[in-house]
Amino acid sequence: MPKWELAPVSPRSVALALPDRVVTNAELCETLDTTPEWIEKKTGIRERRFLEPHETVLDLAVEAAEKALAAADVQAREIDVVLVACTTPDWIMPSLGVSLAERMGIDTPRILDLTQHACASAAYGIYTAASLLQEPGLETALVVCAERGSGITDPTDRITRIFFGDAAGAVVLRKTAGGDGLLSYDLGNVYSDAVRMATAWRLDQEVPTSTTETPRTPYIFMDGNVVLREAMTRVPKSLSEALSTAGVTVDEVSGFAVHQANAKLVRQIGRMAGADAERVPVTADTLGNTAAASPLTALWRLAREGRARRGDVVVLGAIGAGFLFGSLVFRLPDDLVAADVAAWTSRGRRERGTGTGPGRARASFARPKVDYGVSERRRPVMQSRASDSDQWLYALTPSQAEGERNEPGERSAMEQHPDVPRTEPSQAEGERTEDIPTRE
């Protein structure tokens, strides 16, 4: 893939919006034929967040977007491009992007919805928004990734129900002076129906020309073995390709924000990339797989922990949707600001209401007085971590606390081969396919 040789673009802020409801493994097991211990052993996930029935994806998307604008000190009227990624919207039509712009008072004709990129949305969305900003006179883009994963999983299916959670993430992108910003990217795809979800008309509809099994439910289907194999093959290679094009080594990367399919897989991808655990944050253990939003939850962690400062190199990688995959390499021209998670978590959604229609009245927010902190380079912003509302992102599992990393002198899979990881995905580092829930 080529270097980014267009006008430099870089993220200025990142924000998250999370539902209040925490769903533990024990609660899931009330409708699943499994145990909390089994779920955590196989996936590393302990809990996730679910929207309440009366809450909407639009609510989450607006909340994340408002916080991202405030953190970047950007007004709604300054937004030139709006890109919203969501595979689980409240409505197929009207557009979620237009609904969000109406809520926030954003007046731009450049609104784009990514609806079928699923877990790969953050990589493709940021790349697309950066491309749209190349039009002369445009300076600022808002990228929002929001999902209601709880709404597309069968409550009785342990293969899918245990993974997904609900969340939204948002990033403000700006054109930058100088050569820093997006350095390179890698995008790719390979067809597979191992992850699929049918539209309403396709349910129970026999199609003679189709090689895919006729869908009987509206819920998502996943073949765990294939998902594992593709993620462990495609993501490390994509990260390697993007870094190589940028002329950056793994050791020079401050942090990797990768798709949080499940906690065990994220740690394994980090090892295959040759990165120590502290540079590959895990949020899936407490949020589950938040699909489009998941790389942004990891990016938020990097920024909050002081690993996305001026001059730092950060890499975002994602895969999904059977299968699209991609990586982006940034050298940051300024500190990436992480908005406070709890700034509007309760007050914002409840004050503006959560009706069923897409075109609710615009929200009016007072910007939160958040001390984002200024500290030494790479030093975590301790003011941020003191907040009880952020502790979900810092709860370490025993394996994380021990520090999962390559032994001294051990070469990563990326270093062993410049193109394809030499270690077979099903055998890498003891993470065999039988460790991932699959259909018997």
8 A C-beta contact, residue 402 and residue 235: no
What is residue 335's DSSP assignment? P
Count of alpha carbons within 13 Å of 162, Cβ hemisphere only?
30
Q: Is 134 helix (H, G, I), strand (E, B) or coil?
A: coil
C-alpha distances out from residue 330 to 29, 55, 131, 176, 335, Å: 41, 35, 15, 12, 12
Residues in the chain: 440
8 A C-beta contact, residue 337 and residue 303: yes
Tokens 């655990």 label which residue? 277
Among 423, 437, 427, CA closest to 44: 437
Among 180, 118, 123, 121, CA closest to 149: 118
| Residues known to be catalytic | 119, 259, 289
Q: Is 255 helix (H, G, I), strand (E, B) or coil?
A: strand
What is residue 222's DSSP assignment? E
CA gap 319, 122 in Å, rounded: 9
CA gap 403, 377 in Å, rounded: 22
Paired with 307 in beta bridges are none
8 A C-beta contact, residue 352 and residue 340: no
Q: Is 266 helix (H, G, I), strand (E, B) or coil?
A: helix
Task: Spell out the residues 6+ positions from residue 56 whose beta carbon is closer than 8 angstroms to its own.
Answer: 90, 354, 356
Bridge-based pairing state of the strands 140-148 and 166-175? antiparallel
Paired with 3 in beta bridges are 184
Query: Tokens representing 249?
Result: 């080594």
8 A C-beta contact, residue 90 and residue 56: yes
8 A C-beta contact, residue 101 and residue 162: no
Task: Spell out the residues 6+ positions from residue 10 whose beta carbon is closer than 8 angstroms to its own.
Answer: 173, 174, 176, 180, 181, 182, 330, 332, 333, 334
323 preceded by a cis bond (ω within 30 of 0)? yes
